[in-house]
């Protein structure tokens, strides 16, 4: 059996229409972390797979303890909510039944009647506020930071919006993700409002017309919430290739990440049918494990529970089925840092490229890409981070940018089941080839071609011209001769929990000092990536000072970061207890 036969076999049992039906079913659940609806979605997925004859395990991990850098989380439920403009004229602004994103995740329940609205701008610092006791605060800052200040000052409600939405009518998905202790002190209701609603309220305020609002949230906190991880495995070998997708996020939203979830479910069904029908023979090198979990909490918990010892490679699917002309996105193959390169990366890249190459060329002899597709160096933001921070090489396949990202307009009409199928078939083919010893020579040849003729060239496109020769030499040494990068020797070692650092954890650790770190991140988005993910990844065992870390980032990832800003950020991390330094950086 050749590669084409494997791909054809998986494709033949992978049904795009069935994928759409699965997506519609999963999206019915309001799958917020810690919610009963997330647990119901996991039960639905497990039941669907079992009904088709697959052997399924469902793990339940506690939200009350940390899992790596993922902090404890309160259980939550919600049933309904409405927000009304009471004065100067009565009109409904938002409804939970219309927009599942209209309530900020983990808001307490309650009711407000004829409450004055005040605008506080960003609203993350107490100096942004006057007297807001019993009032509704309108702000655009980080939800948790705004909520902590407003709730502490006695506000009755918080109205949060995003200034950067492409669609003014879109209601953004925002969250507090409170710890159990924080939930005990939560009183203010938290609504998410569209940019259009925020502009209406601000215009009324500017005209001196004193808007007032009323509303309710039927929600509350719950005991016994658990992190569900649904998994099925194909094969017997102890070592495994993992194919993952996160199944959380608001009800009725689809591309993030019902698209990845439905693709992974349909791939599991296609595998099962192909093995049952004898179209595929059993794997003998690795097992293939399919995993669906809540983002970060589930991946970190599972990897801690023995998963990292079994996993040899991870392909993470996050937002993989979009109508690109509608969402204005590009399907992107996200590499890990080059120091975590694995030969299976090449295999997944080539199979994905092959599956997407279906359009006829000019003379109709060859085939060309049917979708916008590109590769990028490492970027954080999904469960591939959990694998990388646990020492497992991982890639992410993602559609980005997306004009409807994290809003109630991320609906099923924007799902393209055919690009989702192409991704699913490609990932399924690559995982099968990696897991079968008969394809070892193919894997080795593709790895050589990828490293020597493609990888360095594509990475070079992201490199400042004056550092191009140096970086190319570094990557060639790293990838072809297996040289391990070493830039440290003195400075700071990362001593925080395993995993990328969340902004919420930094807020909690730094308190008012967080505002300084926030400003540094706003001035440099690359600094946020370095501090929150690359520093914990590189400096866990080898100490770095700001200069040596900046140099490694330049040579390994291809971008510059300010040494001065990095030094200040590292000092704040030291104050937060996340770095242990021989001397202050």
What pLDDT, in 10s, does the model give residues 66-115? 999 999 999 999 999 999 999 999 999 999 999 999 999 999 999 999 99
Q: Which domain holds residue 514?
A: 492-581
Question: Are 67 and 79 in a shared domain?
Answer: no
What confidence score (pLDDT) does residue 583 get? 62
Chain segment 182-229, per-residue pLDDT in tens: 999 999 999 999 999 999 999 999 999 999 999 999 999 999 999 999
Q: What is the pLDDT of residues 152-173, one digit of tens each?
A: 999 999 999 999 999 999 999 9
CATH number of the CATH domain containing 112: 3.50.30.30
- Is the model's pLDDT at 137 over the cut of 80? yes
Measured between alpha carbons, how far is 493 from 189 in angstroms, rounded to an integer? 41
Q: Where are the beta strands (DSSP E) in 185-277?
A: 189-192, 212-222, 226-234, 240-246
Residues 254 and 199 grouped into a single domain: no
The answer to whether residue 137 is domain-embedded is: yes
Residue 412 lies in a domain: yes
Instruction: Count Cα neighbours of 405 within 13 Å in the Cβ-side half-sphere.
Output: 15
Calculate the CA 295 to chain-centre distance.
6
**pLDDT at residue 342 greater than cutoff 50:** yes
Same domain, 251 and 181: no
Domain count for the chain, please give it.
3
- Residues 141, 33 share a domain: no
On the question of a cis peptide bond just before residue 257, with omega within 30 degrees of 0, the verdict is yes
Q: Does a structural domain hold residue 205?
A: yes
> Which residue, 294, 390, 295, is CA-closest to 336?
390
Q: How long a stretch of residues is the chain?
A: 585
* One domain, residues 503 and 572: yes
379 and 319, same domain (yes or no)? yes
Identify which has the larger pLDDT, 485 or 303: 303
Q: Does residue 274 lie in a domain region?
A: yes
pTM equals 0.97
Final residue of a domain: which of 167, 189, 222?
Answer: 222
Task: Judge whether 418 lies within some domain.
Answer: yes
Whether 179 and 83 map to the same domain: the answer is yes
Q: What is the mean pLDDT of the chain?
A: 96
The answer to the question of residue 173 being in a domain is yes
Exposed, middle or buried: residue 482 (CB in 10 Å: 0-12, 13-18, 19+)?
A: exposed
Q: Kindly indicate the confidence band of residue 585, based on its pLDDT and cuts at 50, 70 and 90.
A: very low
């Amino acid at each position: 059996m050749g590669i084409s036969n494997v791909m054809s076999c998986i494709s033949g049992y992978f049904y795009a229409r069935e994928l759409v039906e699965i997506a519609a079913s999963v999206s019915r659940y309001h799958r917020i972390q810690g919610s009963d609806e997330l647990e119901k979605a996991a039960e639905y997925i497990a039941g669907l797979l079992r009904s088709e004859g697959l052997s399924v395990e469902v793990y339940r991990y506690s939200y009350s303890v940390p899992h790596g850098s993922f902090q404890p989380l309160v259980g939550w439920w919600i049933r309904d909510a409405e927000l009304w403009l009471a004065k100067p004229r009565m009109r409904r602004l938002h409804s939970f039944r219309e927009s599942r994103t209209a309530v900020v995740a983990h808001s307490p329940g309650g009711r407000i009647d004829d409450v004055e609205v005040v605008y506080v701008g960003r609203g993350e610092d107490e100096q942004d506020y006057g007297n807001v006791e019993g009032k509704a605060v309108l702000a655009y800052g980080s939800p948790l930071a705004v909520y902590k200040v407003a709730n502490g000052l006695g506000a009755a409600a918080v109205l949060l919006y995003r200034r950067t939405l492409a669609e003014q009518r879109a209601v953004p998905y925002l969250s507090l993700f409170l710890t159990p202790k924080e939930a005990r002190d939560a009183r203010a209701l938290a609504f998410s409002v569209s940019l259009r609603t925020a502009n209406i309220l601000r215009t009324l305020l500017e005209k001196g017309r004193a808007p007032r609002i009323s509303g309710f949230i039927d929600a509350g906190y719950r005991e016994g919430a658990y992190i569900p991880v649904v998994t099925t495995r194909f094969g017997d070998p102890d070592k495994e290739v993992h194919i993952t997708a996160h199944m959380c996020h608001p009800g009725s939203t689809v591309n993030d990440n019902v698209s990845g979830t439905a693709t992974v479910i349909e791939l599991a069904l296609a595998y099962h049918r192909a093995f049952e029908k004898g179209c595929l023979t059993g794997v003998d090198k690795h097992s293939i494990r399919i995993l669906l979990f809540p983002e970060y909490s589930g991946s970190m918990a599972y990897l801690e529970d023995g998963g990292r010892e079994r996993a040899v490679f991870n392909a993470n699917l996050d937002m993989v089925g979009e109508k690109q002309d509608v969402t204005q996105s590009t399907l992107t193959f996200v590499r890990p840092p080059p120091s975590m390169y694995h030969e299976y990366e090449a295999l997944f890249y080539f199979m994905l490229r092959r599956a997407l190459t279906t359009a006829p060329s000019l003379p109709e002899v060859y085939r060309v890409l049917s979708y916008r597709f590109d590769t990028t160096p490492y970027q954080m933001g999904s469960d591939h981070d959990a694998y990388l921070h646990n020492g497992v090489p991982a890639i992410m396949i993602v559609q980005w940018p997306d004009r409807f990202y994290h809003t109630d307009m991320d609906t099923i009409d924007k799902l393209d089941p055919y690009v989702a199928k192409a991704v699913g078939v490609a990932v399924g083919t690559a995982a099968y080839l990696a897991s079968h010893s008969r394809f070892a020579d193919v894997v080795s040849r593709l790895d050589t071609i990828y490293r020597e003729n493609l990888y360095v060239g594509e990475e070079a496109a992201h490199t400042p011209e004056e550092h191009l020769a140096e970086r190319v030499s570094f990557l060639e040494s790293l990838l072809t001769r297996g040289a391990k990068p070493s830039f440290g020797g003195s400075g700071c070692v990362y001593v925080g929990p395993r995993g990328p650092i969340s902004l919420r954890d930094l807020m909690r650790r730094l308190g008012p000092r967080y505002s300084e770190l926030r400003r540094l991140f706003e001035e440099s988005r690359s600094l946020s990536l370095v501090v929150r993910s690359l520093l914990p990844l590189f400096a866990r065992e080898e100490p770095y000072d700001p200069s040596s870390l900046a140099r490694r980032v330049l040579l390994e990832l291809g971008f510059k970061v300010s040494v001065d800003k990095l030094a200040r950020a590292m000092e704040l991390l030291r104050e937060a207890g996340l770095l242990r330094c021989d001397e202050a950086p």
